[in-house]
Amino acid sequence: MNEKEYSILVVDDDDLVRELVATYLEREYSCDTASGAERALEKMVDNNYNILITDLVMPGGSALDLLEFVKEAQLDTIVIVMSGTVDEFIEWEVLNGGAFEYLRKPFDLSEIQVAVERALIYQAFYNDARLYEQWFGNGRAEEGIKFELAESGSPDAKAVGMSATAIVPAA
């Protein structure tokens, strides 16, 4: 599989952080950048990104604004928020608002890599489950289905924190 088929938008008002993260990820993924929330919104209207990696606080908007846009536009984009803010309430608010991951700055670039890999695996599970639901939920089978995600003993599953353990008839 060609990893460049996945696209990532990196948003941060700090030029150094934005370019460092994008350059690191460009080894395996197609990356685009924006220096703030307003520019990110413009790019998201014109492009379909698999992942949005964004700073929490920026001039002209915040990660919460971008999360709201992703929800309202019903995009399949996974949002990873990075911030120098060490406040558990804010972290909870961001995660409760729909972010997949919250990374505290400063972070090691390998943390970004792991977060991206986990997000892409989650996105694949989610898309597969949605396709199965569309297929079986539209009269093509007598019962709908659901995915049960659970911890697994396999090292690969433990690395991402999830695995599909069963496809069972929906109740």
Q: What percent of the chain has pLDDT over 90?
A: 63
3-state secondary structure of 142: coil
Residue 138: pLDDT band with limits 50, 70, 90:
low
CB atoms inside a 10 Å sphere around CB 67: 19
Q: For 3-9, what is the mean pLDDT?
A: 85
Domain ranges in the chain are: 3-107, 125-169
Residue 137: pLDDT band with limits 50, 70, 90:
low
pLDDT digits (tens, 9 = 90+) for 92-104: 999 999 999 999 9
How far, in Å, CA of 106 to CA of 128, rounded? 34
pLDDT digits (tens, 9 = 90+) for 76-128: 999 999 999 888 999 999 999 999 999 999 999 999 999 999 999 998 888 87
Nearest in space to 58 (alpha carbons), one of 36, 79, 90? 36
CATH code of the region 3-107: 3.40.50.2300
**Rg of the chain on CA atoms, in Å:** 17
Provide the whole-model pTM: 0.77
